[in-house]
Amino acid sequence: MFNAKAMSSGLKWILTSLFIESIMLSLLIWSNLEQLNTSLSAQTQTRLNESSVLLQSALSAPLVQMDYATAKAIMKETQQVEGIVYLVVLDRQNRRLISVGWDEQTPLPQVETDPFNPNALSDARFDTRIPLKLGDTPLGTLAIGLSTQFYIQARKDALMRSMAIAFLELLFSALLLLSLNYWFSKKFVLLTEQAKSIAQGNYQQKLSPSEHHEYDQLVMAFNQMSDAIALKIEQLESAHDAQKQLNQKITHLATHDNLTTLPNAHALDSYLNQQVNNQQPCSLFLMDLDNFKRINDTFGHHSGDQLLMTFSQLLKQHAPDNAFVARLHGDEFVMVLPETEPKQLSAVASTLCHQIANHTIHINAQLFHLGMSIGYSRFPNEAPDARSLMNQADIAMYRAKTAGKNIYRAYTPNMD
């Protein structure tokens, strides 16, 4: 028979040890959840910052040109990213211009600052807003809703897994401590009986040798819990890489014309500002396609698009190798050349007019000759900044257009 007092004392130590262990496991679970929250919050903020820069770049040019169809297409493509619930563009008076993923009749939710506040967790959505600007000019605001469902589920899974591992750890510890207590109590009873026997003068009774196994192998529960958290972070990084690839695609859409694949007005502004800020002399050619409006109005937008694509291919083919070619809007195109002598500029314009005029296009079984009007100006010789350079080239282009077809003009101060 075992010594009841020894067993009772052993159980007290077991309960005390399990209580202390449960406190330590609770603190560890809380620490791991805080670490997970910090990581998820950082991922959310990084994701929001990247989306803010890319969406502002992608939407600025369409909004300035009031090309809401292009802006909506970019927003729809952006919404395909897992975790974006809605996107709504507001003007400077907070009036809705474009809505994707949000009912236009439903008021927008309040702006939230923390993706893990009770409201964001209750509706599984983080509602925030991004200012839209073109340079220093405010264009409006982009309301964006990021789903927090993935983060909520990740936190819930981590908590459940941690609690399950903690429970198994406590259960294993309890079994191990009970086994040790049983073994020590049994040995204590044998020693006590042997001591009593010796006290009674029975020296013949000996303890029989026995083999016993020390169950000293512990389950590495904390490593399992750390591995589970590492797996979740790896999944978040994988989702981040997928979003990065999509952001690169959005960046290309934001800086290139969808129809002609040429750089768009936003890319042109960046290039010109870089040239001007670095005081790099350059010349800007503004080109307007002749007869585009007549063909577009007579035969429809499809024929107009066909003409624009043909013209853009010819322009890329015959433009100098060091030229930056972009589509400004409608039937207007821009070519920027690095520092070039005036005679060479005239030769470039003449060659372009000649090469374009040598091409024809069939539209609805009708043959059309291509032609364009060119106006150009130089920085810093005539224009002190990018805006003046564009305005002067525009003035020269309209002088060429009024003078006839397929003509070029260089800007001179007497044109103002």
Q: pLDDT digits over 339-391, tens only?
A: 878 889 999 999 999 998 888 888 888 888 888 999 999 999 899 999 999 99
Check whether 77 has a pLDDT greater than 80: yes
Name which residue leads in pLDDT, 25 or 394.
394
Check whether 196 has a pLDDT greater than 70: no
Which whole-number Å values give the CA distances from 197 to 7, 191, 194, 204, in the listed order?
22, 10, 5, 9
- Condensed to tens digits (0 to 9), the pLDDT of residues 274-316 reads 999 999 999 999 999 988 888 888 889 898 999 899 999 999 9
Lowest mean pLDDT among 81-90, 160-169, 177-186, 243-252: 177-186
Q: Are strands 332-338 and 96-100 parallel, antiparallel or unpaired?
A: unpaired
* Phi, psi at 220, each rounded to 5°: -85, 70
Check whether 395 has a pLDDT greater than 80: yes
Check whether 35 has a pLDDT greater than 80: no
Q: CA-CA-CA-CA torsion for 221, 225, 227, 229, nearest 10 degrees?
A: -170
- Condensed to tens digits (0 to 9), the pLDDT of residues 327-336 reads 998 899 999 9
Q: What is the pLDDT of residue 387?
A: 94
Is residue 148 within 8 Å of 45, Cβ to Cβ? no
CA torsion sign, 331 to 336 to 342 to 347? negative
Q: Which residues are CB-contacts of 57 (< 8 A; sequence separation ≥ 6)? A: 251, 254, 255, 266
Mean pLDDT score, 53-59: 78
Name which residue leads in pLDDT, 206 or 354.
354
pLDDT-derived band of residue 1, with 50, 70 and 90 as boundaries?
very low
Domain range list for the chain: 1-255, 265-415
* Phi, psi at 320, each rounded to 5°: -55, 155
The span from the CA of 410 to the CA of 350, in Å, is 11
The span from the CA of 75 to the CA of 87, in Å, is 7
Look up residue 38 and give its two tokens. Answer: 């910090």
Nearest to 264 by CA among 328, 330, 337, 336: 328
The chain-wide mean pLDDT, for the chain, equals 80
CA torsion sign, 93 to 98 to 103 to 104? positive
Bridge partners for 168 per DSSP? none
* Phi, psi at 236, each rounded to 5°: -65, -40
Q: What is the pLDDT of residue 379?
A: 94
Q: Are strands 96-100 and 372-379 parallel, antiparallel or unpaired?
A: unpaired
Selection from 55-64, 150-159, 201-210, 322-331 with the highest mean pLDDT: 322-331
Check whether 102 has a pLDDT greater than 80: yes
Is residue 361 within 8 Å of 310, Cβ to Cβ? yes
pLDDT-derived band of residue 260, with 50, 70 and 90 as boundaries?
very high
- pTM for the predicted model, two decimal places: 0.46
Q: Which residues are CB-contacts of 146 (< 8 A; sequence separation ≥ 6)? A: 44, 47, 48, 83, 84, 85, 115, 125, 126, 128
Mean pLDDT score, 167-191: 67
Is residue 373 within 8 Å of 401, Cβ to Cβ? yes
pLDDT-derived band of residue 200, with 50, 70 and 90 as boundaries?
low
Rg (CA), the chain: 38
Helices (H), 256-319: 265-277, 292-299, 301-318
Name which residue leads in pLDDT, 13 or 70.
70
pLDDT-derived band of residue 409, with 50, 70 and 90 as boundaries?
very high
Which whole-number Å values give the CA distances from 105 to 73, 99, 102, 145, in the listed order?
21, 10, 9, 17
Lowest mean pLDDT among 9-23, 53-67, 74-88: 9-23
Check whether 237 has a pLDDT greater than 60: yes
pLDDT-derived band of residue 164, with 50, 70 and 90 as boundaries?
confident
Look up residue 35 and give its two tokens. Answer: 């670490």
Confirm or reject CATH 3.10.310.30 for domain 265-415, answering yes or no.
no
Mean pLDDT score, 109-127: 77
